[in-house]
Structure 1
Amino acid sequence: MMQVCKRLRILAVVTAVALASAIPTTGAAAGGDGAVQPYGTNDAGGFRNVLPAGENGLDNALQLAQFQLAGTYPPHSHDHTHDQIPRYFKDATFGIKAGDVASKTSPRSDVTIVRDKSYGVPHIYGTTRPGVEFGAGYAGGEDRLFLMDVLRHAGRAELSSFAGGSTGNRAMDRVQWSIAPYTETDLQSQIDNAGKLYGPAGVQVVSDVTNFVAGINAYINAALVNPTLLPGEYAALGKLPQPWTPTDVIAEASLIGGIFGKGGGQEVRSAQILQALEQQFGAGAGQAAWSDFREHNDPEAPTTVSTAFPYETNSPFSPTGSAMPDPGSVNFPSDGPPLASSSSLAAATDTPMQQAIPNDGSIGSQLLHQLVAGPPLASNWELVSARHSATGHAIAVMGPQVGYYVPEILMEEDLHGPGFDARGAAFPGVNLYVELGHGRDYAWSATTATSDNVDTFAEVLCQDDIHYFYKGQCLPMERLDRQNSWTPSATSQTPPGSETLTIYRTVHGLVYARGTSGGQKVAFASARTTYFHEADSALGFSRLNDPGFTTGPRQFQQAVSQINFGFNWSYVDANHIAYYHSGWYPQRAAGTSPDFPVLGTGQFDWQGYDPALHTITPLPFQAHPNAIDPDWLVSWNNKQAPQWSAADDNYYYGPVFRSQLIANFIERALAHGGKMRIEQLVSAMDEAATQDIRSVQLWPVLKRVLGTPTDPRVADAIATLDSWYADGGHRRDLTNRDITKPGTYQHNDAITIMDAWWPKLLDAEFHPAVGDGPFNAMQTLLPFGLPDPGGQPTPPDFAVGWYGQVSKDLRGLLAAAGQGPTPADPNSRIYCGNGSFAACQGALQNSLLAALAQTPQQIYGQGACTKNPQASCFDLNTWVVAGGISIPPFPFQNRPTFQQTVEPSRTLPR
């Protein structure tokens, strides 16, 4: 991105000279009072939030030049700085306090947009529902027009045509074309079918989209006349913003929903892991070993609710409809020409989602690092019921993690008018409704669920490689092409070029792999329940914003049940807390495996599947994990409920999960009749945000197995790790007051030891027992986790990393040696030392010695940390720079992007 910024600097200075002269001020008219309401109208109070780095996303060419030349930030582009930490969370009450009005405009007669001086948040008041939507679109354009343009092009898999042909942009196009390829007709069909599928509610959503798009276009028209309204990045690309269309909204929804709201779809990979284990151990023992690592339904896994909600409980090894790939037959065809960063081998063995992400600083590269490699598994929320709160009213701390962007990929808005009383965050470009926030006297949030709404069907080929059998007919696959072309610009010096991305679609979904099954040629197609239905979730968001609909926890559950993406939704009002797990989850054909490919010949389709409308009969409302008013609730992307099975691509719902870090804090606070205050709940989140799960949850069992070593180097390392554990296992520097420069962590030596040791520990514990093939195969779905010694600096999320596998295996070893209880649902074998305590202990001690030989330069000295090789640099949270303004990285925190603290004390009449 540095080269991009240099080019932007040159261009911005030139453009700024032109802008320094008189500029017409055409735009929205100054607003009258209209429907504007006084501060706090219809708001019960007790709502606060924070959205770094700030609300503003507009940097016109003059502001861009000022930043590039002098480091001067545009107003509200990064408000939340270190000197504001004592505030933590800002007031999120409806409206603006007297004296805090910065501007008031009316882009149309039925809407007024008022912005506050403090943070620049748009408060939108409509006298009509269309006016509210028009204002939401206009405000979205004001705050995020260029980012919205990036996202709509990324959603259409044409980022390279918009932002240049860099390897990263082209890789982003490949990922999107592999998960949500649509023709313009496909996108329009989602709009056309809304009324058919959902009646008047669907018609209302289409009207909302139409008025929302009109608001965006009104802002674009104003910006084309008044350059101070136009983001400077357009000039850098040599482009102007083009009119928005309703299908652009659908395209962006497909990008966000296709990544954040799904789970599963890796049945072929899982089958390859099983086959590798069967080759190593034999059929029966191989299946047992696969079940050990799979953690499909581990009774020790921490869950959000304690009530069982059985789902996908069929045997993984059921022969009904089975279409297991023949060993060695599978290849993964690329949807485009080879990229400079990939090899022909990678193209054959990886899908676009699994290939290495280019590190060229392009927008596409940064999006991939955030959307594919990172934050979908970092949201959390924690709620405490009224009976366990010190105030006698329910309290909550909650928020989604979607990455850190400049400008932020979420925007804040405050919407009021017929059918609207809501304030909070939404993705720009689809911000028709507040997606995460609060209503009059209630608040809601979400975490990504990862539950299984994607399956693999094996299409039996006929005639040639692009025809397949379905219900007795030999049907042609549909070929979908995306043609992209690019030319050099100030931000991308990639030579002119073009390419065509191609993917094939069957009645079930998208072909992502080919091979044979039982000797027959097959194409493996990915079927996602939300494909062709990414826009349908608008129904649920509309109801969350409507004070007439959401009047309590049960109505909240009904509202979010209309959201077909897989999310864990939380709710709090003065008297209640609630939870509902949303998503369209298929009811599979009787007796079929939920873990491996099934035949796509028709008789094993999902229940109620209609290929014409891409609809199913999903799991009914009450079968979804849900709860109202338990003692407390926590979700950090953990398992939802007992017997709610982990999706086929999820090998990490075992006995150790990071939600325990928050849950343990709450349990301690409530022990012996204790009551929690909101500041304690903030601390529960905040403490866990810097903890290393390997220290907090795993060190005690690791220490027991290591025993008392004779080698003083190992003994010293154990003492160092022990001290870190006793101090909370944090990765933080409490002495550093300059957040723009990484300090040195307290317990830095222990952290360095653990980071170097972890991959060596896993290798020593499991590799000898399972062999090369299975050990390597398992890492395709169960990576070692972050930090990655010798890899690129990346903040760890501690969601995935063999934590449960290590815990259960070593506790089983200790139990076999008479040194502890047997784990619930123990493994079929002990892997460490092949069951020998002495051999395991020796292997772990030797692996720790090998880790001690690693230097900080070897562990951390990559990328931006070449000259500062230490964990605090390696962990830094960095910003995706989706424009010309950049912000320095900040110290590691594993916490949400947008966050609310909620402590309402009353309910309001409707």
Structure 2
Amino acid sequence: MPPRTRTLRAATAAAALALGTSLLAAAPQATATPAEPAATAAATDHCQGRCADILPPGQNGNATLVEILGNKAFGTHPAHSDDQIDRYNGLVAGHTGLTDQKLTDFFNDASFGVPADQVESVTKPREDVTITRDKKTGVPHIQGTTRYGTEYGAGYAAGQDRLWLMDLFRHIGRGQLTSFAGGALANQGLEQQFWPQAPYTEADLEAQIERIRTTEGARGEQAMADAQAYVDGINAYRDKAKKGRYFPGEYVLTGKIDAITNVGEIQPFKLTDLISIASVVGGQFGGGGGGEVQAALSLLAAQQKYGLEEGTRVWESFRQRNDPEAVLTVHDGTSFPYATKPDRARGTALPDAGSVTAEPLIHDRTGSAGTNRKDPVDAPADLKPAQGMYDDGVIPEGSLPGSGDGAAKRGMSNALLVAGKHTASGNPVAVFGPQTGYFAPQLMMLQELQGPGISARGVSFAGVGMYVQMGRGQDYAWSATSAAQDITDTYAVELCEPDGSAPSKNSAHYLYRGTCTAMEKMERTNSWKPTVADSTAEGSYRMQVWRTRYGVLTHRATVGGKPVAYTSLRTTYRHEADSIIGFQMLNDPAYVTDAASFQQAASHIDYAFNWFYADSRTTAYYNSGMNPVRAPGVDAALPVKAEKAYEWQGFDPAANTTDYTPFAQHPHSSGQDYYISWNNRQAKDYSTAAFGFGAVHRGDLLDDRVAALVADGGVTRASLTRAMEEAALTDLRGEQLLPELLKVIRSQPVTDPALNTVVQQLDSWRAAGAQRKETAPGSHTYTHADAVRIMDAWWPELVEAEFRPGLGDDLYAALTASLATDESPAASHGPSGAHSGSAFQYGWWGFADKDLRQVLGQTVKGPLARTYCGNGDLSACRDALLTTLKQAAAAPATEVYPGDDSCEAGDQWCGDAIVHRALGGIGHKTIHWQNRPTYQQVVEFPSHR
């Protein structure tokens, strides 16, 4: 059974009878439907029909028990639960002949309001708000006459569309998912991934609410009033759905409500639930930094192999903090120095060799086995590829409920914007959106909000939808990509014992500004019993983390022989909800009137995001985030001593506040010829928070295409969308690396006829665009299928053959622990996991590019400290490539694509394909791979207020 349905196994008519589902009828969600539907009163809409958007699989994310069982038994779907999949999937084949007129074949009309002939239903949960849903998508268009009513309506509509999902996520944020939804490994993995990032008490959550209410002035008060109205709306729908017996069927399947008697309860929502959900969303998509312990281990491995000076030089060349060849979003040469390498580092706390151990998270396990987020990292030699990636905010394994094979990571989104002087209309054009993975239901939901001080349409994460988070206003649109600049640091706190005795690595006290201070132990004990939804055997376990004033403990080690604890401290810790002010501003038509006011609004968002803006006159960009002001000389890439001299400047641990870099020091720009972003580096001298931002990045797939469009001029919405989709179907290795690989191989004639045929196959694929695309829609067979298979088999082998002999086993293992070598669609071992759509964000593409060019004697800016392929000898490098290529060509498809619970072994197309991971009872069909935002807008404003 596919993992996406594993947590909801009641798929037979027998189960339906046993549960008495004949007594549980689906009820309409609208409380009133007018006999003659009227159009909603649209706000001023300057897009004039030129705004479009898409969000698969569909708007409706709730299903009654009858609907769930019908889906399992007969493949039926509730209305509007899957009606955006085909349009989204259709762009794979449809983009080649795309015109502006055909855009709505693949996107929704994102105009404000609903025409009278398109009204499907009208709901009035209160007299001061109306929820109108359109026939084509079922998107709620919420119009309030009061501010409270508008937000109440937003909450009510969220309940209609995402009640079960919101309930899941408030439990995930509290580390209580298994007790709520069952002990499946996927559920255990989720709470183990998210709760340790924000192990809050209820008092902690309430403190965040109070801080916003009392320290953010009138906007803070309004934000909390809006949030309360939103919660009130959720609860109003919750009550009606329970009484009317049309609540989500998952509550029956997990034993929360009896199907026959209706006995049971859906717990009321409260404001602290919103903070809990925000901690999950922000931690997943808006973090940045961390990973300093793993970075230190790879540095030590380099120093051990080459000596202190040369080893550091080698490591820095792989770290690529400020690679001059990296693709940039702000490409006009403007410099924004941040987290750069200090000339002379102070306070760095490298561990003693072999002393590092990860702090265990799981304790007292009984019953079903589970996952453990932290693997031992005693020595570099013990490290395995992809291990330790969670420290960079990336989830290497585990899943959202029911997937079992990997979760969405926070990178993935992209943006393409072109200034009006290069477009056919003279107005800017933008194609942009966030990539939040593929789930059923989707993590986000579409909505339109119109009320006093609010006018916007777009997406919001379910459960925190008081405002549109990415979308469009009356005469402007905005979107974001994950930025991942370094807002998280690792501190080495010296351990101690309160009685003055010698501490050990297991000590539970630490020195805080000279005082031996007790760590705070945070615990979650979860237990579960088998249910219809989850047949996992009865069990329980305890999660435990230690909190200090320098953050959450992640590892223990010794530094200079003294026992220390490594802690992770991010600026957004205890501030997950503060960004609500920025989102409120973005929804306020009186506030955002131009690019400058947009940038000011974005600066109030504390998460690490790249924000993009387009109106009829200009485009703009701003990088948000609570960037801490570090003490002089501190190296942000490595652990630092937990001493006052090396703390963030102005650091107050009580509220986790500090001094932050000012607006002007954040990368920002207006009116640049074009902008692209695909989680690449932001600007010159703006240091990245992780490995992998070098000469080749998936951002190049966008940059090359958009630059070419701009050079030709006359850019349209359709041509920019085509550029996005071409990049979405392209294998980064085939486009950017294969030319260099073939140049090395063809430096001498290939005399083996069979191997020469393989080389020609790869070259033909490269010449055709190196795409992973079907021969025809629905064929499920790739054009150039053999070349794609060979590249998939060859890449990990060629990287190892190119680098491992020169680096040695220990250093190669340590570096691959900091950065996985491959993240092709079929590389299910990569950071994204299988079937996630997102690909080519993390990998050794830049390392291989520089190394091969060095072997070929080409000019390389910011070269690797050494040349590795063939130890720098072209002939030896060629031999290594040919040897691995021959092995790859012989690898059968069943080996390259081993199969999983979704695909048969050897099924290349399915191995790549996107699987919507079920977060509830409804499943969806598998669709063609494309490396593309989940929610996406195509916009062009012809006029302005």
Q: Report the TM-score range of the alignment, normalised by the length of the smaller protein.
A: over 0.9
Distance apart, 1:120 and its partner CA:
0.6
Task: Find out whether 1:772 has 2:809 as its counterpart.
Answer: yes
* Counterpart for residue 439 of structure 2: 405
Give 2:341's match in structure 1, choosing from 315, 322, 331.
Answer: 315
Distance 2:14 2:846 in 1: 52
Distance apart, 1:689 and its partner CA:
0.5
Distance apart, 1:413 and its partner CA:
0.5
* Counterpart for residue 190 of structure 1: 208
Give 1:524's match in structure 2, choosing from 557, 566, 576.
Answer: 566
The answer to whether the Cα contact below 8 Å between 1:29 and 1:107 also exists between their aligned partners in 2 is: no
The answer to whether the Cα contact below 8 Å between 1:277 and 1:286 also exists between their aligned partners in 2 is: yes
Give 2:760's match in structure 1, choosing from 686, 709, 719.
Answer: 719
* Counterpart for residue 279 of structure 1: 304
Identity across the alignment (%)? 40
Q: Label 1:178 to 1:368 Cα distance change in 2 as closer, same or farther (>3 A).
A: farther
Give 1:169's match in structure 2, choosing from 175, 178, 187.
Answer: 187
Question: Deviation string for 1:812-871 (max 9, x for gaps)?
Answer: 1111xxxx3x21122221111112222111111111112122111111122147635142
The answer to whether the Cα contact below 8 Å between 1:31 and 1:112 also exists between their aligned partners in 2 is: no
Distance 1:113 1:478 in 2: 46
* Counterpart for residue 265 of structure 1: 290
SS at match of 1:14: helix
Distance apart, 1:699 and its partner CA:
1.1
Distance apart, 1:134 and its partner CA:
0.7
Task: Find out whether 1:145 has 2:184 as its counterpart.
Answer: no
SS at match of 1:468: strand
Give 1:830's match in structure 2, choosing from 867, 874, 879.
Answer: 867
The answer to whether the Cα contact below 8 Å between 2:212 and 2:578 also exists between their aligned partners in 1 is: yes
Question: Deviation string for 1:634-670 (max 9, x for gaps)?
Answer: 10111100111111xx211101111111221122222
* Counterpart for residue 450 of structure 2: 416
SS at match of 2:735: helix
Give 1:651's match in structure 2, choosing from 682, 691, 704.
Answer: 691
Distance 2:599 2:903 in 1: 50
Distance apart, 1:315 and its partner CA:
3.1
Give 1:874's match in structure 2, choosing from 907, 911, 915.
Answer: 911
* Counterpart for residue 547 of structure 2: 505
SS at match of 2:631: coil
* Counterpart for residue 114 of structure 2: 96
Distance 2:582 2:34 in 1: 31
Q: Label 1:813 to 1:273 Cα distance change in 2 as closer, same or farther (>3 A).
A: same
Map of 1:10-89 to 2, 5 A cutoff?
Answer: 10=13, 13-14=16-17, 18-19=21-22, 28=31, 37-39=40-42, 41-45=44-48, 46-82=50-86, 85=90, 87-89=105-107
Map of 1:687-766 to 2, 5 A cutoff?
Answer: 687-707=726-746, 708-736=749-777, 738=778, 743-766=780-803
Distance apart, 1:790 and its partner CA:
8.4
* Counterpart for residue 385 of structure 1: 419
The answer to whether the Cα contact below 8 Å between 2:412 and 2:838 also exists between their aligned partners in 1 is: no
Q: Label 1:628 to 1:343 Cα distance change in 2 as closer, same or farther (>3 A).
A: closer
* Counterpart for residue 353 of structure 1: 390
What amino acid maps onto 2:127 in structure 1? S
SS at match of 1:328: coil
The answer to whether the Cα contact below 8 Å between 2:193 and 2:395 also exists between their aligned partners in 1 is: no
The answer to whether the Cα contact below 8 Å between 2:24 and 2:245 also exists between their aligned partners in 1 is: no
Q: Which moved more, 1:718-727 or 1:78-87?
A: 78-87
Distance 1:318 1:180 in 2: 33
* Counterpart for residue 434 of structure 1: 468
* Counterpart for residue 851 of structure 1: 888
What amino acid maps onto 2:330 in structure 1? V
Question: Deviation string for 1:594-614 (max 9, x for gaps)?
Answer: 111111122211112111111
Distance 2:615 2:780 in 1: 41
What amino acid maps onto 2:56 in structure 1? P
* Counterpart for residue 7 of structure 1: 10
Distance 1:220 1:865 in 2: 34
What amino acid maps onto 2:653 in structure 1? P
Distance 1:511 1:236 in 2: 37
Task: Find out whether 1:332 has 2:358 as its counterpart.
Answer: yes
Distance apart, 1:712 and its partner CA:
2.3
> TM-score scaled by structure 1?
0.94
SS at match of 2:672: coil
Distance apart, 1:10 and its partner CA:
5.0
Distance apart, 1:321 and its partner CA:
1.1
Q: Label 1:847 to 1:68 Cα distance change in 2 as closer, same or farther (>3 A).
A: closer
Q: Label 1:173 to 1:344 Cα distance change in 2 as closer, same or farther (>3 A).
A: closer
The answer to whether the Cα contact below 8 Å between 1:12 and 1:64 also exists between their aligned partners in 2 is: no
Q: Label 1:24 to 1:5 Cα distance change in 2 as closer, same or farther (>3 A).
A: closer
Distance 1:796 1:24 in 2: 37
* Counterpart for residue 99 of structure 2: none
Distance 2:66 2:559 in 1: 61
Question: Deviation string for 1:167-205 (max 9, x for gaps)?
Answer: 221121111122111111111100011133312211111
Question: Deviation string for 1:435-491 (max 9, x for gaps)?
Answer: 110000100000111111100010011114111111121111111111212121101
Distance apart, 1:345 and its partner CA:
9.3
Map of 1:805-824 to 2, 5 A cutoff?
Answer: 805-815=847-857, 820=858, 822-824=859-861
Q: Which moved more, 1:77-86 or 1:897-906?
A: 77-86
Distance 1:542 1:790 in 2: 39
The answer to whether the Cα contact below 8 Å between 1:383 and 1:397 also exists between their aligned partners in 2 is: yes
Q: Label 1:347 to 1:177 Cα distance change in 2 as closer, same or farther (>3 A).
A: farther
Distance 1:864 1:449 in 2: 33
Map of 1:493-572 to 2, 5 A cutoff?
Answer: 493-572=535-614
Give 1:661's match in structure 2, choosing from 698, 701, 715.
Answer: 701
SS at match of 1:382: strand
Distance 1:50 1:22 in 2: 31
Q: Label 1:318 to 1:523 Cα distance change in 2 as closer, same or farther (>3 A).
A: farther
Distance apart, 1:281 and its partner CA:
1.1
What amino acid maps onto 1:581 in structure 2? N
Task: Find out whether 1:677 has 2:716 as its counterpart.
Answer: yes
Q: Label 1:368 to 1:462 Cα distance change in 2 as closer, same or farther (>3 A).
A: farther
What amino acid maps onto 1:537 in structure 2? S
Task: Find out whether 1:241 has 2:266 as its counterpart.
Answer: yes
The answer to whether the Cα contact below 8 Å between 1:43 and 1:94 also exists between their aligned partners in 2 is: no
* Counterpart for residue 97 of structure 2: none
The answer to whether the Cα contact below 8 Å between 1:314 and 1:592 also exists between their aligned partners in 2 is: no
Distance apart, 1:62 and its partner CA:
2.3
Q: Which moved more, 1:16-25 or 1:157-166?
A: 16-25
Q: Label 1:345 to 1:575 Cα distance change in 2 as closer, same or farther (>3 A).
A: closer
What amino acid maps onto 2:300 in structure 1? Q
The answer to whether the Cα contact below 8 Å between 2:389 and 2:818 also exists between their aligned partners in 1 is: no
| Stretches of structure 2 lacking an aligned partner (at least 5 in a row) | 91-101, 257-264, 379-386, 498-502
Give 1:113's match in structure 2, choosing from 105, 127, 131.
Answer: 131
Task: Find out whether 1:626 has 2:668 as its counterpart.
Answer: yes
Distance 1:292 1:358 in 2: 29
Distance 1:343 1:395 in 2: 46
What amino acid maps onto 1:835 in structure 2? G
Distance 2:664 2:87 in 1: 47
Distance 1:414 1:126 in 2: 11
Q: Label 1:440 to 1:25 Cα distance change in 2 as closer, same or farther (>3 A).
A: closer
Report the RMSD for the aligned CA atoms in angstroms.
Answer: 2.4
Distance 2:438 2:29 in 1: 33
Distance apart, 1:222 and its partner CA:
0.5
| Stretches of structure 1 lacking an aligned partner (at least 5 in a row) | none
Task: Find out whether 1:128 has 2:146 as its counterpart.
Answer: yes
Distance apart, 1:17 and its partner CA:
5.6
